[in-house]
Amino acid sequence: MMSVATPGNGGGRVAQSAKARMRRASLLKNEDFRLLLELTSVSEVAAYLSKSSYAPFFKGFDLESIRRADLEFLLGVSILAESVAFRHYAGQRDKKLLDLWQEYFDVMLFKNHFRRKLGTPEWDPRLAADRGDDMLDMVAGYHLTLVDKDKLFSADSLTDIVMSVKNAELRAALLEALPGSENASAARASEIQKIGFNVGMELERHHLDNLYSHAAGLGGAEGRWMRILVGTKVDLINIYWIYRVRRFFNMSPEEALTLILKARYRLDFNLLTKAAFAEPDGMKNVLAGTPYAGVFDVDNGNASLRELEIERRIYSFIFTAAERVFLSGSLGFQNVAAYLTLKLLEVKDLIVVIETIRYGFDRSKAGLLLIRSLGR
């Protein structure tokens, strides 16, 4: 038994793969989501989840009076806590991969503080400085690696926020993306939104390029599955970024191509160039013959629902890739990455359920917007 738990050897891979498979079994089932969509209040959702694998995160909270923002905050904490729990089984190489995986949380915190200071409506009070501290206190084993927490939480200006980034090259790129003046209110709303989008993309590009670089360097079945898991996301992110900046920010094809990731998986630069020079509505034709052909093939007259459906299909594609990892039966870090991916997507689906109930949306339409398929 001792060899199984020893980080860095074959036993460590057995242990982390076994834990990932065990945790996967604790994920909510489709029937859970059907039952959740029948509930009538946020407190009922909290009570239901308190009897599931989320139970440890509800200790000390009054479930009858819990607010939507608090419930969603606790679900976010659960993702971070799950990833930290795998460090016990990891050798130095896998700890590095975990650090890179967890940097997504650093990116979220940075983007939130930047958007709040920029004055865009997307900033999330659940990730404000006081809640960020709460989250880090609840997950003691996690330490920010991309940004300096104290500098980020005490920043008074856009420049100060950028200076919290530890990586000098990334910091310089973010400074270039800043508006010419700290007085962002002087800019038009469309310009402010574009600045926030560009800064967010710069951070995510740094995060995903590094993650894919390390995943691509792994050998054997472990490397192959990690390339599939991370590479699928890389491909879809590249295509979606091109689509968004062409449709919503009126960027030229040349500008769009400057924003894509350095990482490449199935979609090479020639195909991405074709996507950039195509009209946004022609994206499905560009992708014909690729594994992603159906992602943009959405026939919906309602523009908002059309965009939601495209996002849902992107996440569903990633969901399927993560499920395939477990079906392979092979050992390695890919099982940890697949489980954490499924957990993140489960939380996204839970937030759809919570907001459907809180705001009285049509339950049948909410079911169609879940990443998982509940059946049509």
Per-residue pLDDT for the chain (376 aa), expressed as one digit of tens each? 223 334 444 557 788 899 999 999 999 999 999 999 999 999 999 999 999 999 998 888 889 999 888 899 899 889 989 999 998 888 888 899 999 999 998 999 899 889 888 887 777 776 776 666 777 777 877 888 999 989 998 998 999 999 999 999 999 999 988 876 555 555 566 677 778 888 888 999 999 999 999 998 899 999 999 999 999 999 999 999 999 999 988 889 999 999 899 999 999 999 999 999 999 889 999 999 999 998 998 876 677 778 888 999 999 999 999 999 999 988 999 999 999 999 999 999 999 999 999 888 888 888 888 999 886 5
User: Is 69 a member of any domain?
Assistant: yes
Distance CA 66, CA 98 (A): 31
Examine residue 263 and state whether it is found in any structural domain, yes or no: no
Please give the pLDDT value at position 213: 94
Domain presence at residue 35:
yes
> 363 in a domain, yes or no?
yes
Strand positions, DSSP E, the chain: none
Q: How many structural domains compose the chain?
A: 1
Q: What is the pLDDT of residue 187?
A: 55
- Phi, psi (degrees; rounded to nearest 5) at 29: -100, 170
Asked whether residue 317 is domain-assigned, the answer is: no
* DSSP, res 298: -
CB-facing half-sphere around the CA of 134: CA atoms within 13 A: 14
pLDDT score, position 7? 44
Give the residue among 105, 109, 93 at the shortest CA–CA distance from 142: 105
Look up the pTM and report it.
Answer: 0.89
357 close to 338: Cβ distance less than 8 angstroms = no
| 362 assigned to some structural domain | yes
Q: Identify the CATH number of the domain in which residue 73 sits.
A: 1.10.132.50
Residue at 210 is within a domain: no
> Could you give the 3-state DSSP secondary structure of residue 147?
strand
* Residue 56, C-beta contacts closer than 8 angstroms, at least 6 positions apart: none
* Residues 212/231, Cβ–Cβ less than 8 Å: yes
Asked if residue 288 is part of any domain, the answer here is: no
Supply 178's token pair.
Answer: 């800043």
Quote the tokens at residue 217: 């360097």
Tokens 């997507």, residue? 345
**Residue 23 domain boundaries:** 9-89+332-376
